[in-house]
Amino acid sequence: MFMGEYQHTVDSKGRLIIPSKFREHLEDCFVLTRGLDNCLFGYPMNEWRKLEEKLKELPVTKKDARAFTRFFFSGATEVEIDKQGRINIPNNLRSYAKMDKECIVLGVSNRLEIWAKDAWENYFEDSEDSFNDIAENMIGFDI
């Protein structure tokens, strides 16, 4: 399980250090793809395979299913963790997430999320005010 929030920087070559607590669960490589809310999602290979199977079951005849599957898979790439604990984030993914230097790496249960620092701060600030309303809407999920 991934949890926590860590601040790191992307260097000029697009490399980012993955927090050591996350590296334990990622092995040597994992899948990085476009996430929702303009962040990146990172999945260990076993979690990626589960997600892939679920997405394959979406009906190709549904426009939204095709669009979501394209969005998710077209941005996906396997990234390797080097000996210094870094990954190289491809240009297209850095551009999507508007990452230039400072980043936030979050643990979110079965995946990690990588955010541009200012995007994360804006998102957190905007959602913090409505957190009680969000929590109230989650009641139907038995949380």
5 pLDDT above the threshold of 90: yes
Residue pLDDT, tens place only, 34-45: 999 999 999 999
Please give the average per-residue pLDDT across 5-12, as a whole number. Answer: 96
Judge whether 110 and 102 are in contact, CB under 8 Å.
no
Judge whether 42 and 19 are in contact, CB under 8 Å.
no
CB atoms within 10 A of CB 25: 15
Average pLDDT for the chain: 92
Q: What are phi and psi of 40, to 5 degrees?
A: -110, 145
pLDDT class of 66 with cuts at 50, 70, 90: very high
Q: What are phi and psi of 75, to 5 degrees?
A: -95, -5
Q: For the domain covering 2-141, report its CATH number.
A: 3.40.1550.20
Cα angle 53, 55, 57 (rounded to 5 degrees) comes to 75
pLDDT class of 142 with cuts at 50, 70, 90: low
The domain segmentation of the chain, as residue ranges, is 2-141
pTM above threshold 0.85: yes
Q: CB-based contacts of 140: which residues, under 8 Å, 6+ apart? A: none
Q: In 3D, which of 104, 90, 93, 121 has the Cα closest to residue 17?
A: 104
pLDDT of residue 143: 55
58 pLDDT above the threshold of 80: yes
Distance, in Å, from the CA atom of 139 to the CA atom of 34, rounded to the nearest integer, reads 29
